[in-house]
Every structure is written in C-alpha cells, then in structure tokens.
Amino acid sequence: MAGCPDWCCLAHSSDSPISHEARSIEVPVGFGEDGGQFFEVRAVQYLTEDSGTTHACEPVPFVEFAHHVNGRYSLINMSTAQARALVDALLRSIDAADSASGTERHQRKSSQYSGSRT
Ligand SMILES: [Zn+2]
C-alpha cells in the first residue's frame, strides 16, 4: 500500500484504508485481586472521520493507550508530546520508588517492553 508508514503492521486490502496501526504492546499491571489488568499501547493514524469521510487536513498519528480490566477497557488518545510527558512522569516516579526501596535505578532502554501480541 502506497503511503503506508514503516510502523504500520496492517495488511491493507483496499487503496483507501481507514487507519494505519502499529503492533500493540501490552504491559501487565495490578497486584493480587487487581491482577490480570494490562495497559495496551500503540501508535495509530486514523485516515477518515467516524462518518467515513476523509479528514480536512492531513491526520496526525497519535498514541493510543488502553486500560483493560475484566474484559472491559477505557481508551485514552494522546499526542506524541502528551505521551512523552507521561513517559517522563513514569520514569521520575519509577526512579523515586526504586531509590526509596533500594532497587537499582531504572535502565532507560526502550527495548524493555518489546513483547507484543500477534
Ligand atoms: Zn498502513
């Protein structure tokens, strides 16, 4: 498909796809009775409006963040700047929690959560 970004994992069957989507990354969260929850993160670029019409301007890719609990999920869409702010907040909190518990500081490697579902 012409114009498909490198990160898109969809095999588009039409010349006018609805979206480009990156492969989802799932991060388990929760403890004890709250276990079994997970965050699902991926990059998405919707090419048409909900009505099916084409966007007036070039659609911007964003980061889709879903919290799955008991088969239900809530969805949060973030700009890349908002997603970076969230990552920064998470890293600061991780460093604070690790230093408080004496655990090694977080290694800032982007490959840490490379698991994905197919
Ligand atoms: Zn695509």
User: Does residue 92 lie in a domain region?
Assistant: yes
Q: Please state, in angstroms and rounded to a whole number, the distance separating the CA atoms of residues 107 and 29.
A: 19
* Distance between Cα 9 and ligand 1 center (Å): 7
Residue with token string 């919707």: 46
- pLDDT tens column, 55-109: 666 788 999 999 999 999 999 999 999 999 999 999 999 999 999 887 765 555 5
* Distance between Cα 84 and ligand 1 center (Å): 23
Q: Please state, in angstroms and rounded to a whole number, the distance separating the CA atoms of residues 48 and 11.
A: 17
User: Does residue 86 lie in a domain region?
Assistant: yes
What's the pTM? 0.71
One-letter identity of residue 20? H
* Distance between Cα 34 and ligand 1 center (Å): 35
* Better pLDDT: 6 or 1: 6
Q: Which residues of 48-70 are buried (b: 16+ CB within 10 A; e: fewer)?
A: eeeeeeeeeeebebbbbbbebee
Q: Are 78 and 65 in contact (CB under 8 A)?
A: yes
Q: Identify residues whose C-beta is under 5 A from ligand 1, the ion.
A: 4, 8, 10, 20
How many independent structural domains does the chain possess? 1
Q: By residue range, what is the domain housing residue 54?
A: 19-101
User: Does residue 1 lie in a domain region?
Assistant: no
